[in-house]
Amino acid sequence: MRAKRVASMAGVLLMVLGLIGAVSPARKPSAPIREAAVPARKPFGPAGEPRIPALDYQASGCPAEPYEGAGVHGWPDPDRTAPAYSRSLAPRGADHALLCQAFDPEKSSWFERLRIVRGVEELQQIMDALPLTEPGGVSTMVGFPELNLVLHYPDGRRVVASFEFNRGEVSSYRAVRRGATRLTREFARLWRAEHTSLDPSEVEPAACLSTQIDLREDTFRHPAPPIVRGFDAWSVSDEPKLPSPLSVVRACRYTADKNGQLTLRTQKAVRTGLEPVRTAVNTRKKPKRIRCGEYGRPPLTALDTLHLTDVTGRTEHVYVAREPCETEKTVGYAGGMPVAPEISAMLARLLD
């Protein structure tokens, strides 16, 4: 009896479903639901290419503020940053590059902006050949010194690389490589090659200052642009001080006036016979500390300066104390060393 009742109810249910199907219009299959695209949160992923960060730039082409690339802080998650340690630093095809040095936050400006055009393709080859490194480790002085390399592309893209000299790494938005010092040296070499004067006789010598301040002051700087060399934060560089041939040398002689101010008395420039002086400056000698001219000693009353300008128009300076030192000395911010004979001969040639 119960079995008949269940069968009867099942039959009624089938009839109702049949009627519903008969009166309901047929529906087309619905289109798949599309989710809104969500940008990837992680800049580094095993299958994704990181995006070039949106930075503000100055009219010179340098970043408005110093940029620090990937990995400079030492990421705690190696899996997240692993691709950055195998990729190239930047896409190929840049048409010029800028090396922006020594950012001044008070003036919001970079002290030096070096530009290359002809050598940018070779620079990118050098960047691709820099050795790989591994994630991990935290720098104690991230970003020191403030140095950014900016690659500019014809379509308006800009890729910035930063330098971390404690770990010896250079980093961009997409990669980290070893060889920070090497890259700065290679850039300097390319810059010098591109900016060497075709006619060295047209290179202007550095000017003699009308007076000389106390050379022991750390704030002393000659206004002539310095020689372009690579940067090595912690070790004594084996790069020569004068990597390019000299174009002109100017000598200046100062003696103290009645107030003790070192005042310019005579000067002279020369363009011949310069290679021995360049060799002497590039020859490394063991430093010998000499206290002539230091604080607590009598102030200088006679001083010679030698301004060595190379074929790129950049200058290296030599300062030679005359009196009251018992013999000739070069002087710097912490004493000095005996003067090389070639430098003494050049000063005698021009000033005696």
List the pLDDT tens digit at each of the 352 positions of the chain. 444 444 444 444 334 334 334 333 433 333 333 333 333 334 333 345 678 888 999 999 999 999 987 654 444 444 445 666 678 899 999 999 999 998 888 888 999 999 999 999 999 999 999 998 876 655 544 545 589 999 999 999 999 999 988 788 898 888 888 999 999 999 999 999 999 999 999 999 999 999 987 655 545 578 899 999 998 766 567 889 999 999 999 999 999 999 989 999 999 999 999 999 999 999 866 555 555 655 556 777 888 999 999 999 999 998 888 877 655 555 543 346 678 889 999 999 999 9
Predicted local confidence at residue 285, as pLDDT: 65
Please give the pLDDT value at position 82.
Answer: 60
Give the E-state strand segments of the chain in sequence order.
96-104, 109-116, 147-152, 158-164, 169-171, 176-178, 211-212, 246-256, 262-270, 302-310, 315-323, 329-330
Task: Note the pLDDT of residue 234.
Answer: 63
284 contacts 325 by C-beta, under 8 angstroms: no
Under 8 Å between Cβ of 210 and 285: no
pTM of the model: 0.78
Q: What's the CA gap between 250 and 227, in Å, rounded?
A: 16
> Strand 147-152 vs strand 158-164: parallel, antiparallel, or unpaired?
antiparallel
Q: What is the DSSP letter of 140?
A: S
